[in-house]
Amino acid sequence: MVVLASTPAVDHIPLLRSPDPGDYFSGMPVVDLSSPGAPRAIADACERFGFFKLVNHGVPADTMDRLESEAVRFFSLPQADKDRSGPAYPFGYGSKRIGLNGDMGWLEYLLLAVDSASLSGACAVPSCALFRAALNEYIAAVRKVAVRVMEAMAEGLGIAAVDALSGMVTAEGSDQVFRVNHYPPCHALQGLGCSATGFGEHTDPQLISVLRSNGTSGLQIALQNGQWVSVPSDRDAFFVNVGDSLQVLTNGRFKSVKHRVVANSLKSRVSMIYFGGPAMTQRIAPLPQLLGAGEQSLYKDFTWGEYKKAAYNSRLGDNRLAQFHR
Ligand code: AKG
């Protein structure tokens, strides 16, 4: 991490070395969801990286663009108007503060609750009807993609029940969250060789995250050897992350990927992420079908509710699963 003496605009935001072209992730797995080989390719990518790019996913470009335009419109509102949609806890607008434990990033965001396949009626934010319609159309579509990907994961793992994983996000009471992030350009650091942390390193606690961004890169993932690599943006594709809970369900076969965002000094990044989590009471333990003869779970038993509580009480970069290891 870079430490810079005094740059008031980025006070309290940790700095990172600016990415250079050599950091690009040359080995990124790209999965064609329409191909018969998708289940095996998805399982392979989840075992090696916990991350892959998904193409031919079937979500119309219009659905993605409409939501991006509405999000840009929202984030362009005067600060006082946006603040009326906050704070972000449990749901709403937030700026710079991520969570309640002191993590800071160069971003603003909307954190939204999802019920079944649309925004939760109880979530009054955002109030604009066009934005809500764009969110609902997009959430319904991206959730279908998440379900198809989880079905493919089950097939790729050789599990006979197609819904062994996807059933956890389609179940009544599943804990789904949607997040729209805006990383404004951080002009103050232009040319200094360092960049503001947009979103600090972390793994996602849920089962699966499905991300789409505009054409500004910034997302980085950590490879299993600890090297950080930059993910080239692709506004037509989704990027899928394995979350901690899915790592546990597969007894460590799938890897929950550590990732972060480096803010750009010239261009805004807008990302929208669907996080699929199970119901609070769902037990998170390796699926029996995946345990070989005599193989023991690597983890203590816990429910999603217990894990979520532990995750929300920790710092972003903490190894949250460590306390649940046997
Ligand atoms: C998150 O919201 O949990 C992220 O990791 C953000 C990733 C991004 O904005 O590209």
Calculate the average pLDDT of the chain: 96
- Closest CA relative to residue 317, chosen from 245, 246, 258, 229: 258
Q: Which atom of ligand 1 is nearest to the CA of 204?
A: 3
Give residue 218 CA to ligand 1 midpoint distance, Å.
Answer: 10
If one residue of 195, 261, 316 were mutated to test the ligand 1 pocket, choosing by the most ligand atoms within 8 A of its CB, it would be 261
pLDDT of residue 123: 87
What is the per-residue burial (b if ≥16 Cβ within 10 Å, else e) of 96-125?
Answer: ebbbeeebbbbbbbbbbbbeeebbeeebeb
Per-residue pLDDT tens over the stretch 103-120: 999 999 999 999 999 999
- The whole-angstrom separation of Cα 133 and Cα 224 is 40
ipTM over 0.95: yes
Give residue 286 CA to ligand 1 midpoint distance, Å.
Answer: 26
- The whole-angstrom separation of Cα 207 and Cα 195 is 30
Ligand 1 first shell, C-beta below 6 A:
179, 181, 199, 204, 211, 213, 219, 259, 261, 271, 273
- Across the range 188-207, mean pLDDT stands at 96
Question: Which domains are seen in the chain, by residue range?
Answer: 15-324 (2.60.120.330)
pLDDT beyond 70 at 188: yes
Q: Is 118 left (phi over 0), alpha (psi -120 to 50) or beta?
A: beta
Per-residue pLDDT tens over the stretch 283-309: 999 999 999 999 999 999 999 999 999
pLDDT of residue 7: 61
pLDDT band at 8 (very low <50, low <70, confident <90, very high): low
Give residue 55 CA to ligand 1 midpoint distance, Å.
Answer: 19
Per-residue pLDDT tens over the stretch 124-143: 999 999 999 999 999 999 99
pLDDT band at 259 (very low <50, low <70, confident <90, very high): very high
Structural contact between residues 17 and 193, judged by C-beta atoms closer than 8 angstroms: yes
Give residue 152 CA to ligand 1 midpoint distance, Å.
Answer: 23
267 in helix, strand or coil?
coil
Give residue 259 CA to ligand 1 midpoint distance, Å.
Answer: 8
Token pair belonging to 132: 């809500």
Q: Which atom of ligand 1 is nearest to the CA of 259?
A: 5
Peptide bond preceding 87: is omega within 30 degrees of 0, i.e. cis?
yes
pLDDT beyond 80 at 4: no
Structural contact between residues 280 and 308, judged by C-beta atoms closer than 8 angstroms: yes
Q: Is the dihedral of CA 36, 42, 48, 53 positive or negative?
A: positive
